[in-house]
Structure 1
Amino acid sequence: MIHQHPLAYLLGLEGVALLRAFAGRHDEAFVADRLAEIRSLLDRAGELGPGGSAMELTSAEAYGSWAAGYDRPGNQLLDIEGPLVRAQLDGVPVGVALDAACGTGRHAAHLAELGHTVIGVDSSPEMLALARAKVPAGRFLLGELASLPVPDATVDVVVCALALAHVPDLRPVFAEFARVLRPGGSLVVSDPRGRLGDTGLPIVVAGPDGSPGYLANRSRLASEYLAAALPLGFEVRHCEEPMRPSPFVDGDGLPPGAAGPPPPPSPPGTPPNIWSLHPLIPDAANAAYEGSPMAIVWRFQLAS
């Protein structure tokens, strides 16, 4: 169970912005504006509502709820992560490709276009249905990352995109990647970075019964991936951390290029939709998020 209060999020952004000013990134006038804005937020605390609580969901429950809108245009993370992952896959020899936690089949479709024989595994039946429609020639299986329904040493490349942030321990998952890969095979991994440094904000969605739920969204150190991968014989071939576009939000409080107006505030008694809060303090939001990585993208190769 988590509890999210809108004022807590807003004051948190103001605090990070002030720390960045304290480190020399902003001037005295910026600090005065932030302090005045904090006083105003405290005076208006009752208008923001009490927030609400959410129960933890499994990945299958969360992504089942999210599936229908997952590929909707304007998802800044997908827009940035997708080309970087595809660039790594483009250099891999054609063979049997496993899209682990395939979701709607974003990367499975690219692998099929490159000529790979595609296998997709996901814990969400709803996501798998979308992937099958997108890649009719692929074979899509229900399964978990820590116990992939794939035989040993039968795959030439594994891609796992934006999914490891949800698992509590990387080691058994990387062990599965090593098990299913042939010697010399490639592993391409992407993961989101915490919106604020090492703080991975939970993904809040409606649960199966319609009540608010959340999916854990961990932000890991690069060393954690290495600690899981290197003992298994994986060797690093590429690593990059794309930065968040600046400004983080535009004048409407949305990521630049996002489709549609800002979402309405969440109903009373539910966790806040943070994108509905950004228009209240756009300068602080931009200052808090500036210069932070949005994702991490790895390419490993399993030793021959």
Structure 2
Amino acid sequence: MLPIFDGGSPARLRILRSMVQFADFDSRGYPMVDVRTGYGQWVESYEQTVEDAMDVDVLARLAVPDWPSVRRAADLGCGTGRTGAWLRRQGVAAVDGVDLTPEMLAVARAKGAHDRLVEADLAASGLPGEAYDLVISSLVDEHLAELGPLYREAFRLARPGALFVLVGLHPYFIMAAGMPTHFTSAAGESIAITTHVHLVSDHLTAGLAAGWQLAEMNESVVDDRWIALKPKWERLRSHPVSAAYAWRKPA
């Protein structure tokens, strides 16, 4: 069953979204840089920093996607190729990747999981329309000021009946932890990358407006595995940390 918005017009939802700003929750105060600058600097330590529990383990728990049946996937915000490599291990036949940061693309290219890599904005990928059985985006949405362009581009790329799978930080986690996406620079300084808070309702509104049908949603919480990885997160135990959405394009 699709969600029903009772009394919330698109204009009203836009007003509510504009009131939720990461700055209202930021407890770190790290210097902040734009996405391309930040990931260009983070690239060397990125794969040693990001935990599988944040994204690919959440993808693995989704029931709707039949990964081995996917002939061709578009990986929007492919980064160093972690998601693309995971998809290939699940039996996905071919994966095209798009990312804004050339340094990240260079690592992905060396990894060899993607058939094609494009340096572009994920909302204007330049990839062919209606050419993909799966469109996927991982750990990207918190960097987008608006979700609509991503959902619309994914819809353009997807074949009728295809899926769009998005996994990212749960908005509640961003607010409760007060922590932006960040990395440690070569000089040992903590640097934040532009972070936005998108409520679950923002995702539902953007997805439905683009024409998608919600097929599945999964929310992951801070559990024993997370506490073992991040002992300081004990205060966040049982709080949502990641969210995954599986959308289907009408046939």
Shorter-chain TM-score tier: 0.7 to 0.9
Stretches of structure 2 that go unaligned for 5 or more consecutive residues are: 1-21
Q: Check the 8 A contact 2:36/2:100 in 1, yes or no.
A: yes
Is residue 148–residue 210 contact of structure 2 (8 Å, CA) maintained in 1?
A: no
In structure 1, the gaps of 5 or more residues are 10-50, 249-254, 259-274, 279-284
One-letter code aligned to 1:218: H
Aligned pair partner of 1:125 in 102, 109, 124:
102
Q: Which segments of structure 1 move beyond 3 Å, counting only runs of 4 or more? A: 86-90, 194-200, 204-213
Partner residue in 1 for 2:193: 215
Q: Which moved more, 1:189-198 or 1:173-182?
A: 189-198
Aligned with 2:132 (options 149, 155, 168): 155
Structure 1 residue 300 displacement after superposition: 0.6
> Cα 1:52–1:91, aligned 2, differ >3 Å: closer, same or farther?
closer
CA contact (8 A) 1:57 1:215 kept: yes
C-alpha distance after superposition, 1:166-185 (max 9, x if no partner): 10000111111111111111
Mean alpha-carbon deviation: is it higher for 234-243 or for 186-195? 186-195
Cα RMSD (Å) of the superposition? 3.1
Which structure would you say has the larger Rg? 1
Q: Is the contact between residue 234 and residue 302 of structure 1 (CA under 8 Å) also seen in structure 2?
A: yes
1:236 to 205, 214, 225: 214
Task: Note if contact 1:62-1:206 (Cα within 8 Å) is conserved in structure 2.
Answer: no
Q: What is the TM-score of this pair, normalised by structure 1? A: 0.64
Provide, for residues 183-238 of structure 1, a one-character-per-residue CA deviation record: whole Å limited to 9, x for no partner: 11111100112436466522334679997642123332211111001122211111
CA contact under 8 A between 2:77 and 2:138: conserved in structure 1?
A: yes
- Matched to 2:94, the amino acid is T
**Is the partner of 2:248 in helix, strand or coil?**
strand
| 1:105 equivalenced with 2:81 (yes/no) | yes
1:20 paired residue number: none
In 2: Cα distance, 1:296 partner to 1:82 partner: 11
Q: Deviations over 1:49-76 (max 9, x none)?
A: xx8761x322111111111111116x44
Please give the residue correspondences for 1:129-148 in structure 2 after superposition, counting only pairs within 5 Å: 129-135=106-112, 138-148=115-125
> Which residue is equivalent to 2:228?
256
> Secondary structure of 2:137's match?
strand
Identity of aligned residues (%): 25
Residue in structure 2 matching 1:95, options 71, 74, 77: 71
1:225 alignment counterpart: 203
